Amino acid sequence: MMNGDGTIARLSIATPPIVPETRGADMPAVESFPRHPFRKLWLRVHLYLGLFGGALFVFMSLTGSVLVFYKAIDEWLNPALLTTSGSGLYKPLNKVVATAQAAAPSGGWLESLELPSHEHEVFKAWHKVPTDRVDQFRWYLVTIDPYTGSVLSRDREWGTYLVSFIYELHESLLLDELGRTLVGFVAIFLLISISTGLFLWWPRSGKVRQAFLPVTGASPIRRHYQWHKLTGAYSAIVLAVLAFTGVYLAFPSYVIPLVSAFSSVDESSDDGAVQSHPVSGVPALSAEQAVELVRRLFPDGRITYIGIPHKAADAYEMTMHRPGDFRETVGNSMVWLDQYSGAVLKVHDWRNFTAGDTFVAWLFPLHNGKAFGMIGRWVVFFAGFVPLVLYVTALRMWWLKRRAHRRQGVTGFVREMM
């Protein structure tokens, strides 16, 4: 189902393991590190997670990097469909809604409308089309120029154009619920890999400062080891945050009850009890009337998303950004209105969030970097390339060591023959 950010899928970034030190002149000395009784176990866990999950970690992280800027990429690839050069006043909202409804694909209906966030953005109307499978739908995007009211694109089915296809890959590996479960476990394995990697790297002699500095003049194997461990050490916190938020996005029904055990969480987006009450002879409010009521209620709010009622008991659902909200593009505040009387059925105001609400609200913006604006998005973007560096350095170390062992075996054979 589409959310207020216009997204269906979620991000999940992962990394292969930090290969621990091994014996030999080419690897770091570990004499000063006292041996932990479980060190060998953590070493094997770390190693096998990297061997069997490293390539998938890299794949998930690179697709995640692309999705940090997926909207900008889509606009850059399809400017005629997703941007406008117009200016002046927007067309009336009722006309935009009517245009979107008239452009609905066969058998579908207008489910929601995303409002432009900048002067060159367009209205995005999302249509829901049922399939042969119960509770499964296809989503189609219709874009409308806010200044002319003309339809710029229609029949853009989610999952068929480039960025949406990458989103589906990242969210579910194109395997629906099974894929989402697999992606969630990848995030869990990443957390384990990070934990074991940090445990194996941590300087137990107390020389923390030296552990963050590279060793110069080393052999090729040791240089790759240095790149591997330092890259993992410096990126561990960011990758752990991305992994944990990925677990939440894959398994919200498990994470939210866990958070609720410490502080209550209002699951408004899944609240089926918020319904309108049809009254005989009373027509439904128009979109403009509903928006005007919400603007009176929150004059400082900027409406970013409108859920359009389809059934008689459906309510208007609006998402807005209010000053100070950390989710800058969409906002965390929501309002539900009875589509007939205009009565406020429920308000979810970020300023009144519990500690649990705030914690959960931060998770998705942390995952895609939007929680900290453009800086946060670039941090997440570059973090997506870290697993590739770790995987390549680990494979390179393995190859150099294997080649060295082969040379030693050949040399020993020649000596025996002599």
Model confidence pLDDT, tens digit, residues 302-348 = 999 999 999 999 999 999 999 988 888 899 999 999 999 999 999 99
Assign residue 348 the CATH number of its domain.
3.10.450
The verdict on 285 and 215 lying in the same domain is no
Q: Which two tokens stand for residue 268?
A: 């408004």
**Which residues make Cβ contacts (< 8 Å) with residue 357, sequence separation at least 6?**
263, 264, 265, 266, 350
User: What is the pTM (predicted TM-score) of this model?
Assistant: 0.83
The verdict on 143 and 286 lying in the same domain is no
Contact 141, 132 (CB under 8 A): no
The verdict on 172 and 251 lying in the same domain is yes
Helix (H, G, I), strand (E, B) or coil at 302: strand
**Which residues make Cβ contacts (< 8 Å) with residue 395, sequence separation at least 6?**
none
Q: What's the average model confidence in pLDDT over 145-159?
A: 95
Per-residue DSSP letters for 344-379? EEEEE-GGG--HHHHHHHHHHHHHHSGGGHHHHHHH
Model confidence pLDDT, tens digit, residues 250-280 = 999 999 999 999 999 987 555 567 899 998 8
Dist CA 32 CA 19 (whole Å) = 18
**pLDDT number for residue 159:** 95
Domain-terminating residue out of 123, 138, 160 = 160
Q: To the nearest whole number, what is the mean pLDDT of the chain?
A: 85
End-to-end Cα separation, the chain, in angstroms: 73
Q: What's the average model confidence in pLDDT over 285-314?
A: 95
Strands (E), 108-150: 109-114, 123-130, 137-144
Dist CA 301 CA 235 (whole Å) = 37
**pLDDT number for residue 206:** 63
The residue type of 167 is: Y
The verdict on 184 and 251 lying in the same domain is yes
- DSSP symbol at 300: T
Q: What's the average model confidence in pLDDT over 79-103?
A: 96
Helix (H, G, I), strand (E, B) or coil at 96: helix
The verdict on 86 and 212 lying in the same domain is no
Confidence band (pLDDT; 50, 70, 90) for 199?
A: confident
Question: Among residues 328, 333, 305, 331, which one has the least CA distance to residue 377?
Answer: 328
Dist CA 361 CA 300 (whole Å) = 20
Model confidence pLDDT, tens digit, residues 202-240 = 777 667 666 677 766 667 777 777 888 888 888 999 999
Task: Kindly state whether residue 19 falls inside one of the protein's structural domains.
Answer: no
**pLDDT number for residue 387:** 92
Least confident piece of the model among 5-9, 14-18, 106-110, 365-369: 14-18
Task: Kindly state whether residue 104 falls inside one of the protein's structural domains.
Answer: yes
Task: Kindly state whether residue 367 falls inside one of the protein's structural domains.
Answer: no
Contact 238, 65 (CB under 8 A): no
Tell me whether residue 146 is exposed, middle or buried, using C-beta atoms within 10 angstroms of its C-beta: 0 to 12, 13 to 18, 19 or more: buried
Q: What's the average model confidence in pLDDT over 296-307?
A: 95
Q: What's the average model confidence in pLDDT over 4-11?
A: 44
Question: Among residues 103, 143, 100, which one has the least CA distance to residue 122?
Answer: 143
Task: Kindly state whether residue 362 falls inside one of the protein's structural domains.
Answer: no
The domain in which residue 193 lies consists of 39-72+168-262+379-417
The verdict on 333 and 348 lying in the same domain is yes
- Is the pLDDT assigned to residue 185 strictly greater than 70? yes
**pLDDT number for residue 411:** 54
Q: Which two tokens stand for residue 343?
A: 């009565």
Q: What's the average model confidence in pLDDT over 32-50?
A: 72
The total of structural domains in the chain comes to 3
**Which residues make Cβ contacts (< 8 Å) with residue 246, sequence separation at least 6?**
10, 11, 12, 13, 14, 183, 184, 186, 187, 190, 367
**pLDDT number for residue 395:** 83
Q: What's the average model confidence in pLDDT over 388-394?
A: 87
Task: Kindly state whether residue 202 falls inside one of the protein's structural domains.
Answer: yes
Dist CA 271 CA 273 (whole Å) = 5
Helix-strand-coil split of the chain, %, nearest 5: 50, 15, 35
- The percentage of the chain sitting over the pLDDT mark of 90, rounded to a whole number, equals 62
Sign of CA dihedral 108, 113, 114, 120: positive
Helix (H, G, I), strand (E, B) or coil at 121: strand
Q: Which two tokens stand for residue 359?
A: 């914690």
Dist CA 130 CA 111 (whole Å) = 12
Model confidence pLDDT, tens digit, residues 58-86 = 999 999 999 999 999 999 999 999 999 99
- Is the pLDDT assigned to residue 24 strictly greater than 70? no
Contact 197, 175 (CB under 8 A): no
The verdict on 137 and 86 lying in the same domain is yes
Domain-terminating residue out of 319, 353, 387 = 353
Domain-terminating residue out of 353, 368, 388 = 353
